[in-house]
Chains A and B, each alone.
Chain A
Amino acid sequence: MRLLGDTHIDFMKYRKFWISISFILIAVFFFAVFTIHFNLGIDFAGGTQMTLRFRERPQVDQLRSLLSAAGISDAEIQRFDQEPLNEVIIKTPVTKGSEEGSRERVVAALNRRFNLEQGGKLDANQAGADALGQLLAAADPDHVSGQPAAAAAPGASPEAARYAAVGDALIKERRKEGLFHDWNAVARTPGLSPAAQAALRARAYLGDYAVLGVENVGPQIGKELTRQGFWAVALSLIGMLIYIGLRFELRFGIGAVMASIHDVLVTLGLFIVMRFEFNLTTIAAFLTLIGYSTNDTVVIFDRVRENMRKNRRKPLIEVMNESINQTLSRTIMTGGLTMLTVAALLALGGDVLRGFAFVMTIGIIVGTYSSVYVASPFALLWEQLFGSKSRIRGEGAQAAAGGGARTSAAGGGRTSAAAGGQAKTGVAAGGAKTAGASPRTPATPATPASSQPAAGSTPRPPRAAAGRRRSGRR
């Protein structure tokens, strides 16, 4: 099965059109950045986020009025209508001068209406395993004390060990739904005798809600994370530029990095428009995206480099077109396969990873597009602005001489002796061209050496060596 036959699409012909489209997209999204409220997560903005589960479906209005009665008017309340979990997320922004967040204030505010203490009883939806175990040990409903210790740890009293195990079992049962909705749920705990259950009912009550998770980020940490996040993104872009610059040439590095920046901006714009929350995991997604979007580009550039070596006379623009066409099906396959996995994550991976999955899914689509329509045109543009004209139009006699020699060395190599000889000539010719052609483009003649570091030590290009190995095996 083949996705595409031999394609001969002139991708570069409309490059100006596509680049304009990209610029418009980026402009639109910049506009979005400044007009749409940036949904900054508390990782960066600082603040407190609490996840609560209620026994009974809470009314958001009621929660809000409870909070504002306690002076917390800027809380964001989000209810998940997934029965029977009754989950609510309450987000409060950073309070001035306080690193510790508004967690205690929120709990205090809610407790004016919920979790009303019942005569000093223990809240079985809040207490830990220890507390529950101690409570039961004090009551000793199963009359363990006095009995010989069966498997109790030495030193521990038998009732303590017995009820500690029950306490653990209770917590385990409570974890299933985050809290006990009613006493029937408590009764389902394995190992909880009816007597123990009665003792629990007498000494504990079921709180109306339980705090499942709290995340509080003080303004200090928030600021640091923002700064570090920015630097991580910037430095990894620079890292890409350096790596591709070394492995390929500067202009390719520029093209790849422009494509990455393009992908990040377009994806970020969509991300903001879709009102996803920007948090630490999002930064992770964008950094991964930078790495991944460079992948596709590298595959194309790798082919460009190979084709350039095959035929030095061909204008870069044609080489690029040819290379993009040759690698088109793998560009689509690799992008598509990775997208399958992240799209599954987007659909099924849950709320926490949704932002991450969104960035990767969109990023891969945009990244595949940009590898074709952004990276190569930018490499070309860079060449036109700063590079040697000869390479683009395929002019220059010395270049032709060098190219010709190299072509036969790379493409053929049927007879080992000839391949070696020609390769040597090729390098020599290439070297002559370096000196003679254009001092402004140190990048171009550096191609073979930088792409194949082994060539630096021996005058023989590795491609010829490969050819010899091949012929030897036959």
Chain B
Amino acid sequence: MNRNLLWRGVVILASIVAAAAAAYPPKEKIRLGLDLRGGMHLVLQVHTEDALRAETDGDMERLVQQVKEDTQGKLQIKLQRTGDSRFVVTGLSPDDMTEALHAADRALSRFNRKEQAGSITFDMLPGEVSKLRDQSVNQAVQTIRNRIDQYGVTEPVIQAAGGERIVVQLPGVDDFERVRALIKNTAFLEFRITVYPKDGSHPAASREEILQHFGGKLPDDVEIIQGTDQRGDRDSGPPQPRFYAVEKRRTVTGRDLRTARPAQGNMGQPIVEFHLTPDGAKAFATLTGEHVGSGLAIVLDGRVVSAPVIRSQIRDSGIIEGSFTQREVEDLSTVLRSGALPASITYLQEITVGPSLGRDSINEGLRAGVVGSALVVLVMLLYYHLSGVNAITALVLNVLLLFGGMGLANSTLTLPGIAGVILTIGMAVDANVLVFERIREELRAGRTVRSAIDQGFERAFTSIIDTHVTTLISAAFLFQFGTGPIKGFAVTLTIGLLASLFTSVFVSRWIFDLVLSRRKVAALSI
């Protein structure tokens, strides 16, 4: 064997060893996608305007307190939020205006303001707005991660995906209901003062009833929030809707929570007990102190869970009552503890795949792959005889390299990816066919075996490059377009094509050369 042959053989052997090492054991090295393994894929939208509004409300409250402090309570300014991050102070006399501006200088640093006759419009600086939005998305990612960690999922993916979105991938999850609830149901907690019904009991049955109470038009600082559905007998018909009119202002939210844990109420019903941070406790004390006798609406994800009456000032701890089960109380405590979400969340996309569905898919894919490969092998042997063996050797190596490459690239095998593997098998032999047909043609033209092989590979090479590049172009667009499973397909196809370039040109050529170097071949079996 000459040195050139030996050297090429070493390269091929090294690639086999490397691929085998990267792919073995396949159970560990080849990660299965969610569609095969089962699990959840979620795209969440973070409603960052919630966080903006909460921040703005907090700043408004600060301004009110500052003005009160400056004027020893003589001036009570009227202000109203007119956008997510904008509010107006109205009804100001020129003196009041000076006072208000003075207070704003001290209390509010992140607002632009515009003065008009008798009113000032405060607008949060654009930089601050986008900073707050980013912050709330990041905080939401962190919070969800904490929750998932407490639930225990291996290899979870939780990441911000731009556009105030979060992608969550949880492979192997088996209790979808619980995980959904864990991520979402307990997102945004706030405490609001009820306006109608005043003490929180006997909520209205419809929005109209509340509107009627206010004479057709809601006051500016009041909004209507629906209550959660009461748990009832399943066959008793749809639950009765409940509505509350509450103040828009939200001074205390889930962010002010220090801890929360499940407990039992007076009647043994499951409740959640919470403690507030020092700052939260101060705000909570002010809020409850000013509204003794009113209802305190506990709003979770934009729904009133319960609205107990405030009997006396509450400082740093309280309970959340609702019609909860024990399990719900446990999960609610978990998420409140792990940090409340800064803003509410909706699911834009949800894909849950049960593990048994994935198993079926794998079996069907495997069966198709085996049958398809067997057919290819058969045709290659029938049509190209011994050279067919050469092609099949290259093909086997191709599949090995494909899995090795996937192991190295740490990529994921998805259901379309299985189709990609099968397609690769079909396309890999194409390159061999191009070469073999060219060799046959050269042989017919009267060349010797050696020269025909040289010519065959040389002349087929440009075609092989071109055919591979065109498919790679498609795969590249597929990759940037695709989500999860489709990306998996694009990656599989790309690795398979690169591997086929190597096996059908380099390896197949080497096998021919090896055989020719050993003995004189008068007629090529092709």
Contact = CB atoms under 8 A, between A and B. Distances in A.
Given A284-B486, A291-B470, A295-B430, A341 B422 contact: yes
Contacts of A338: 423, 426-427, 430
Contact of A178 (B354, B437, B478): B354
A295 B467 contact: yes
A220 B45 CA distance: 10
Nearest to B484: A280
Given A298-B466, A341-B425, A288 B234 contact: no
Interface stretch (A55-63, A235-243, A412-420): A235-243
B471 interface: yes
Contacts of B467: 294-295, 298-299
A117 interface: yes
B222 interface: no
Contacts of A103: 350
B352 interface: yes
Interface in B32-73: 35, 43, 45
B303 to A, nearest CB: 14
Contact of B175 (A131, A350, A356): A131
Contact of B469 (A99, A214, A243): A243
Interface stretch (B120-128, B141-149, B211-219, B373-381): B373-381
Contact of B365 (A99, A284, A349, A466): A349
B44 to A, nearest CB: 10
Interface residues of B, number: 85
A462 B368 CA distance: 44
Contact of B427 (A290, A292, A336, A348): A292
A291 B473 contact: yes
A277 interface: no
B433 A334 contact: yes
B364 A348 contact: yes
Contact of B470 (A218, A244, A329, A451): A244
Interface residues of A, number: 93
Contact of A215 (B234, B350, B415, B483): B350
B234 A177 contact: no
A406 interface: no
B416 interface: yes
Interface in A289-312: 290-292, 294-295, 298-299, 302-303, 306
Contacts of A340: 372, 375-376, 379, 426
A185 interface: no
A202 to B, nearest CB: 18
Contacts of B384: 1
Interface string B317-357: 00000000000000000000000000000111111111111
A101 B350 contact: yes
A280 B486 contact: yes
A228 B481 CA distance: 6
A353 B420 CA distance: 11
Contacts of B364: 348-350, 353
Contact of A341 (B346, B359, B416, B423): B423
A336 B368 CA distance: 16
B28 interface: no
Interface string A355-370: 0110010000000000
B230 interface: no
A9 interface: no
A348 B364 CA distance: 6
Contacts of A239: 473-474, 476-477
B interface SS class: helix
A337 B433 contact: yes
A302 B368 contact: no
Q: Among A51, A177, A294, A341, which residue has the most Cβ atoms of chain B within 10 A?
A: A341
B90 interface: no
B174 interface: yes
Interface string A326-340: 110110011011111
B290 interface: no
Contact of B349 (A217, A236, A466): A217
Contact of B426 (A101, A298, A337, A470): A337
Q: Among A176, A284, A288, A302, which residue has the most Cβ atoms of chain B within 10 A?
A: A284
Contacts of B430: 295, 334, 337-338
B234 A221 contact: no
A175 B359 contact: yes
A345 interface: yes
B463 interface: yes
Given A126-B177, A298-B467, A337-B376, A177 B356 contact: yes
B448 to A, nearest CB: 10
Contact of A291 (B357, B463, B475): B475
Contact of B477 (A210, A235, A326): A235
B361 A352 contact: yes
Given A288-B423, A341-B422, A470-B451, A171 B174 contact: yes
B423 A342 contact: yes
Contacts of B293: none
A287 B181 CA distance: 38
A434 interface: no
Given A240-B470, A338-B426, A345 B419 contact: yes
Nearest to A334: B430
A432 interface: no
B441 interface: yes
Q: Among B459, B466, B471, which residue has the most Cβ atoms of chain A within 10 A?
A: B466
A392 interface: no
Contact of A127 (B175, B365, B371, B419): B175
Interface in A84-126: 99-101, 103, 111-112, 116-117, 126
Interface in B431-454: 433-434, 437, 440-441, 451, 454
B9 to A, nearest CB: 21
Nearest to B384: A1
Q: Among B355, B462, B474, which residue has the most Cβ atoms of chain A within 10 A?
A: B474
Contacts of A350: 360-361, 364-365, 368
A222 B10 CA distance: 51
A347 B348 CA distance: 34
Contacts of B483: 225, 280
Contacts of B473: 236, 239-240, 243, 291
Contacts of B434: 299, 330, 334
B376 A216 contact: no
Given A288-B478, A291-B475, 11 more contacts: A101-B350, A214-B350, A218-B347, A228-B481, A231-B481, A345-B368, A348-B368, A352-B361, A353-B364, A353-B368, A357-B419
6 contacts: A99-B347, A213-B357, A244-B466, A334-B430, A349-B365, A352-B415
Interface of A: 1-3, 51, 99-101, 103, 111-112, 116-117, 126-131, 171, 174-178, 210-218, 220-221, 225, 228-229, 231-233, 235-236, 239-240, 243-244, 247, 280-281, 283-284, 287-288, 290-292, 294-295, 298-299, 302-303, 306, 326-327, 329-330, 333-334, 336-345, 347-350, 352-353, 356-357, 360, 451, 466, 470, 473
